Amino acid sequence: MLVELLKEGPVNWSGSIRPPLVNQEVYPKTERGQIPLRVGVGGSPESVVRAARLNANLALAIIGGDPARFYPYAKLYHEQMEHFGNEVRQISIHSPGHVAKTDEQAIEELWPSYQSSFGRIGKERGWGPMTKDHYLNEVYNGSLYVGSAETVAKKIAYALQSVGANRFDLKYSTGPMPHSKLMSSIELLGTEVVPMVKQILAESLASK
């Protein structure tokens, strides 16, 4: 039903748990005429196949390790979109991070909030305690996009290229971080990181 509703046309749908919809209009309408649908995938090939079957965009939730290890999911998405007779849509990466004036500042600002957030989640899921060594390993080698604008831009560009993605969503709020630091991170992301990423990708494309 969601897929049909997002098309913004008159909807005719029947299921097993609610009354049917007959020529139901959806309001308000959008300028594009259709709301994009993204299916989030955290490591399940079945979810990739589902995204392709629904002709939806693919959103890869990458919260740990080298993002390049998710390339097989992007490849599977391409294969399955072709199998279902669909044109490949957007492949995006969704990962946590924080931007500050310097690498050191960003690392120290995020650490208390990151430790608090993942410590709470870890208790619920039976994980071990979050250590700073693990945190730093994700910052330097994994999927935490933490640092100055230049550092984060280079890391985002690498992730997009290694996976074959064309969109990046930075989860900028992790744990109880002060509002002023979140706003500063958002500003740096928009005014400095994004232009740098576009430049890196353009230069890489021109050199091929």
Over residues 125-163, the pLDDT tens digits come to 888 888 999 999 999 999 999 999 999 999 999 999 999
Q: pTM score, two decimals?
A: 0.87
CATH superfamily to which 38-206 belongs: Luciferase-like domain (3.20.20.30)
Crossing angle between the packed helical segments 71-83 and 149-163, to the nearest 10 degrees: 40
| 28-32, 89-93, 194-198: the lowest-pLDDT one | 28-32
For 34-58, the pLDDT digits (tens) are 778 899 999 899 999 999 999 999 9
d(CA 73, CA 36): 20
In a 10 Å sphere around its CB, with 0-12 CB exposed, 13-18 middle and 19+ buried, how is residue 13 labelled? middle
